[in-house]
C-alpha cells in the first residue's frame, strides 16, 4: 500500500505508540488519538513527517468521529483504523466495582464501536479499508481476576468476525491478540501488591510493544485481496 493513512487510538504510550513509530518509519501518514495530548504532540514532533494528533476520549463518539474527520480532511482518505485504546481493571467479580466494569466496557468495546461507526462510511465510500483491533490473549485463555476485561476483548473479537462478514469484499478486518507486553498497562492496577506482582512478572517475561506493532504492519502489508483475520503474539515464556 502506497503511504497509507492510518488512525491509531491510544497512541500516547505502549503498543499504540510503538505502532505509530513503526508505521511512520515505513512512510505512513498518521492521525494519533488519546487523552494525553501532550504525549501525542511530543511523539508527533519526534516523528516529524505527516503526523497529526487530536485529544481523544474513545468513550465519546464525537471525539472518535473527529479523529476520522481529521484524517480525511488532512490526507483525503483513511486506509486503516487501529482500535488500540484499552483499559484493564484486575480483580475478582465479587470485589470489582460496577464502575470498573463500565469503564472497561466503555473504552474496550464501546470505544471500538465508535471507531467502526466513524470509519465504516469512509471505507464504504472508498470501497476499501482495514480495521485492526488490538484484543488480547486474555480472551483466549480466561484467567481469574481478568474476567470482565477478557469479556470485553472477546466481544471485540466477535465484532471483528461479524464486521468482516457484513461489510463484504472491500473491508479487511484484523484482530491482533497480544500476550504480556511491556507497556504502562500494569501500572494502572489499583491494588499495590497486585501491581507489584504484575510488574515483576512483566520484567521477567514481557515482550516489547514493537512485537505487536510488527504484527499490525504485517496485516497491513498484505495485498488488498489478502485479509489476515487473527494474529496471536505471546512471549515465548507465557503459558
Ligand atoms: P498502555 O497503558 O501503554 O496504553 C493504553 C493506551 O490506551 C494509552 O495510549 C491510553 O492513552 C489509551 N486510552 C486509555 N483509555 C482511553 C480513552 N478513554 N480514550 C482514549 N484513549 C485511551 O497499554 P498497552 O499499550 O499495553 O495497551 C494497548 C492495548 O493493548 C489495549 O487495548 C490493551 O487492552 C491491549 N493489550 C495489552 C497487553 C499488555 O500486556 N500490555 C496484553 C493484551 C492486550 P491516554 O491515557 O493518553 O488516553
What would the pLDDT profile of 105-127 be if each residue is shown by its tens digit?
A: 999 999 999 999 999 999 999 99
**Residue 185, ligand 1, Cβ within 6 A:** yes
CA of 1 to the centre of ligand 1 (A): 27
pLDDT above 90: residue 26: yes
pTM above 0.95, yes or no: yes
Domains of the chain: 5-233 (3.40.50.720)
pLDDT above 70: residue 1: no
Residues near 97 by beta carbon (within 8 Å), at least 6 away in sequence? none
Q: Calculate ∠ Cα 71-74-77, nearest 5°.
A: 55
What's the confidence (pLDDT) of residue 129? 98
Mapped onto helix, strand or coil, the DSSP state of residue 142 is: coil
**Residue 235, ligand 1, Cβ within 6 A:** no
**Residue 86, ligand 1, Cβ within 6 A:** yes
CA of 3 to the centre of ligand 1 (A): 25
- Can you tell me which atom of ligand 1 is nearest the CA of 209? 25
Catalytic residues: 149
Helices 111-126 and 61-75: crossing angle, nearest 10°?
30
Pairing of strands 29-34, 5-9: parallel
Return the residue whose CA atom lies nearest to atom 33 of ligand 1: 86
- Can you tell me which atom of ligand 1 is nearest the CA of 36? 47
CA of 225 to the centre of ligand 1 (A): 30
Q: Ligand 1 pocket check: which of 148, 185, 198, 232 to mutate, most ligand atoms within 8 Å of Cβ?
A: 185
What's the confidence (pLDDT) of residue 90? 93
pLDDT above 90: residue 229: yes
What's the confidence (pLDDT) of residue 79? 98
**Residue 12, ligand 1, Cβ within 6 A:** yes
Rounded Cα–Cα distance for residues 127 and 18 (Å): 29
What would the pLDDT profile of 36-57 be if each residue is shown by its tens digit?
A: 999 999 999 999 989 999 999 9
**Residue 56, ligand 1, Cβ within 6 A:** yes
Residues near 18 by beta carbon (within 8 Å), at least 6 away in sequence? 208, 209, 210, 212, 213
Strand order in the sheet with 230-233: 51-55, 29-34, 5-9, 80-83, 129-134, 171-178, 230-233
CA of 15 to the centre of ligand 1 (A): 7
CA of 4 to the centre of ligand 1 (A): 23
The mean pLDDT value for 194-204 works out to 91
**Residue 134, ligand 1, Cβ within 6 A:** yes
Q: Which of 22-26, 173-177, 183-187 has the lowest mean pLDDT?
A: 183-187
**Residue 174, ligand 1, Cβ within 6 A:** no
Considering only CA atoms, which of 54, 60, 61, 14 is closest in space to residue 30? Answer: 54
Amino acid at each position: 500500500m502506497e503511504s497509507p493513512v492510518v488512525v491509531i487510538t491510544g497512541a500516547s504510550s505502549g503498543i499504540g505508540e510503538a505502532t505509530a513509530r513503526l508505521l511512520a518509519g515505513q512512510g505512513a501518514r498518521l492521525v494519533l488519538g488519546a487523552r494525553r495530548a501532550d504525549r501525542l504532540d511530543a511523539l508527533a514532533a519526534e516523528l516529524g513527517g505527516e503526523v497529526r494528533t487530536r485529544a481523544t476520549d474513545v468513550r465519546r463518539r464525537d471525539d472518535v468521529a473527529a479523529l476520522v474527520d481529521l484524517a480525511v480532511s488532512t490526507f483525503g482518505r483513511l486506509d486503516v483504523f487501529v482500535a488500540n485504546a484499552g483499559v484493564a481493571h484486575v480483580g475478582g467479580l465479587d470485589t470489582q466495582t460496577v464502575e470498573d466494569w463500565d469503564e472497561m466496557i466503555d473504552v474496550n468495546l464501546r470505544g471500538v464501536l465508535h471507531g467502526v461507526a466513524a470509519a465504516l462510511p469512509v471505507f464504504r465510500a472508498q470501497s476499501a479499508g482495514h480495521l485492526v483491533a488490538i484484543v488480547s490473549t486474555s480472551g483466549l485463555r480466561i484467567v481469574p481476576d481478568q474476567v470482565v476485561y477478557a469479556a470485553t476483548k472477546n466481544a471485540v473479537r466477535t465484532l471483528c468476525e461479524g464486521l468482516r462478514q457484513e461489510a463484504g469484499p472491500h473491508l479487511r478486518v484484523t484482530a491482533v491478540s497480544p500476550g504480556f507486553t511491556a507497556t504502562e498497562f500494569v501500572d494502572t492496577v489499583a491494588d499495590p501488591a497486585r501491581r507489584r506482582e504484575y510488574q515483576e512478572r512483566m520484567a521477567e517475561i514481557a515482550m516489547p510493544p514493537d512485537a505487536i506493532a510488527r504484527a499490525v504492519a504485517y496485516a497491513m502489508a498484505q495485498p488488498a485481496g489478502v485479509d489476515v483475520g487473527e494474529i496471536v503474539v505471546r512471549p515465548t515464556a507465557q503459558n
